[in-house]
């Protein structure tokens, strides 16, 4: 969907960019390898009536930004905007700023899963190098198919400055 890729692209290819609340809102992420392990273990357990929230970890965009900074020595300026600014300037939450709605609405509790399943869940620090490799070598930092138009973002950054 390019939603997470959008933010990696911003970090790697721009000197500055706009992020809702500075990227500080939390969202739940599920690593595909973790999800595969969850499915396999769920099939092996003789307790098929339990419902699990299948996520690996909760993190903010800022957590990803910091990990990318450390891994790639990138430090673009993150320009924080809030929900009011977005409304006033016709920035569509989730669409123009992928994976962001003003608030921590997309987090789920996976404590039952952690208690019942026997493996170590991925983290931002585990995932970032894998994604950087994929985005660099497979997508070759092509323009994301989602998110705010570059021209609009530049105009808004000029308003903020």
Angle at 104 between CA 13 and CA 71, to 5 degrees: 30
Q: What is the pLDDT of residue 53?
A: 85
Q: What is the pLDDT of residue 116?
A: 83
Write out pLDDT tens, residues 86-120. Answer: 999 999 999 999 999 998 778 999 888 888 887 88
Locate the DSSP E strands across 75-120.
Answer: 77-81, 93-94, 97-98
CB burial of residue 51 (10 Å; 0-12, 13-18, 19+): exposed
Using pLDDT thresholds of 50, 70 and 90, give the confidence band for residue 63. very high
pTM of the model: 0.92
Q: Return the minimum-mean-pLDDT range out of 55-64, 99-108, 136-145.
A: 99-108
Q: Are 50 and 112 in contact (CB under 8 A)?
A: yes
Q: What is the pLDDT of residue 106?
A: 84
Q: What is the pLDDT of residue 49?
A: 67
Q: Are 39 and 31 in contact (CB under 8 A)?
A: no
Residue 80 scores a pLDDT above 90: yes
Tokens for 85, please give them.
């600014």
């Amino acid at each position: 969907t390019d939603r997470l890729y959008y933010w990696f692209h911003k970090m790697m290819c721009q000197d500055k960019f706009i992020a809702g609340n500075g990227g500080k809102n939390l969202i739940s992420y599920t690593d595909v390898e973790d999800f595969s392990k969850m499915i396999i273990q769920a099939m092996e357990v003789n307790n098929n009536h339990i419902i699990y929230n299948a996520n690996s970890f909760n993190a903010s965009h800022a957590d990803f930004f910091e990990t990318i900074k450390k891994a790639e020595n990138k430090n673009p300026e993150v320009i924080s905007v809030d929900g009011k600014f977005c409304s006033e300037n016709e920035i569509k939450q989730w669409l123009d700023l992928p994976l962001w709605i003003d608030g921590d609405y997309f987090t789920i509790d996976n404590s039952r899963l952690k208690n019942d399943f026997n493996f170590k869940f991925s983290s931002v620090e585990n995932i970032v190098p894998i994604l950087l490799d994929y985005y660099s070598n497979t997508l070759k930092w092509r323009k994301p198919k989602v998110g705010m138009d570059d021209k609009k973002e530049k105009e808004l950054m000029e308003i903020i400055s």
